[in-house]
Structure 1
Amino acid sequence: LNVQEDVIRDIAILKTETLEDLHKVLINVFGFEGNEMAAFYESDDDWTQGEEYPLFDMGDNLDPKIQMKEILLENVLAVKTAKLIYVYDFFNMWTFYIELIETDLNYIEPKLPGLLFSLGALPKNAPDLAFESENPGEFEDDDEEDEFGFDGYME
């Protein structure tokens, strides 16, 4: 979870389950009601947001999205370095960072999926996210004239 204090949940789940199954487990272990939209995003080591897998495809037919229920965990978490970003409730933007820790457990959990470890408590409110530009001064000169003498504003 993207907060100051550590909030960690280790979950065991079969690789043949879907992202939607993982979504349901996350709702359960964090105590959410489960009535909000959510999405998973493929990610890299820098937690850059990549391909989106929404709970439901709310887009137009020009850019259809593959839904969570269509993606097996083994297809998006195939290597130990695989990472996902999970966003629950797009109004409050609960943001979770998901990493694959182990692919072959030496024991059989009687009931999968299951919570293996829990550290920290979910805050009452979602943290405020600070959106920062990768190029901080990028728009500072928008009101200056360009090479054609225009200042960027139409009258």
Structure 2
Amino acid sequence: MTYKIRAILDVENDVIRDILIDKSNNLETLHKVIANAFGFNGQEMASFYRTDNDWNQGEEIPLFDMSDAGESISMSTCIIEDTLKNDGDKLIYVYDFFSMWTFYVELTEVKSLPEDNLNLPKVVFAFGDAPETAPEKEFTSDNFNDDLDFDNDDFNEFGGFENIDDYDF
């Protein structure tokens, strides 16, 4: 089976790519195809993020296994058909954490195509050009200090802290 996946770059003007890919490929292959389809070399760090229908970011699927034991999830261990199971399933893809290129990725169609005439994966639709530089992203959070019930005087009850060598453990 072949999956048709739409990737939309999060920039002011529409930049879209539709990709045909075999469902048995892993997310690392999809990462390389998306990066190349938008004119990137694919050499930067990247991650996919599971998401719901409202594009709320969930679990990270990093390019490489970052765990000490080497048993954590990564793009190479996630098969596309296990990650995107139904039409409309979505992922957020972030490429190059310094520039924060962000893409909205969605499974748009599952096709049964003859294997002999396909060179998968391949880009089957392209609209728009990626800008030279990534748009600036502003990451903000709620001010959690407002929710905490203490002030700086609470930390001075130990007589201040200047050097860890002053303490005998």
Quick one: which amino acid aligns to residue 124 of structure 2?
Answer: L
Match of 2:22 among 5, 14, 18: 14
| 1:71 counterpart = 2:93 | no
Aligned to 1:116: 124
Name 2:111's counterpart in structure 1.
104
- Deviations 1:69-110 (Å, cap 9, x if unpaired)? 111100011011210011111111111110111012567662
How large is the RMSD of aligned CA atoms in angstroms? 2.3
- Higher percent of residues as strand: 2
2:57 corresponds to 1:49: yes
Matched, 1:39 2:34: no
Q: Residue type of the partner of 2:89?
A: A
Q: Distance in 1 between matches of 2:102 and 2:114?
A: 31
TM-score by length of 1: 0.82
Unaligned ranges ≥5, structure 2: 1-8, 157-169
Structure 1 residues 116 and 66, CA gap change in structure 2 (3 angstroms): same
Are 1:130 and 2:138 counterparts?
yes
SS in 2 for 1:22: helix
Q: Distance in 2 between matches of 1:27 and 1:106?
A: 24
Task: Report deviation, 1:65.
Answer: 3.0
- Bigger radius of gyration, 1 or 2? 2
Partner residue in 2 for 1:25: 33
Instruction: Give the % identical residues.
Output: 51
| C-alpha displacement of 1:31 | 1.5
* Matching residue's letter, 2:47: A
Q: Is the 8 Å Cα contact of residues 84 and 97 (structure 1) preserved in structure 2? A: yes
Tell me how far apart the structure 2 counterparts of residues 123 and 65 of structure 1 sit (CA, whole Å): 34
- Could you state the TM-score of these two structures normalised by the residue count of structure 2? 0.75
Amino acid at match of 1:116: V
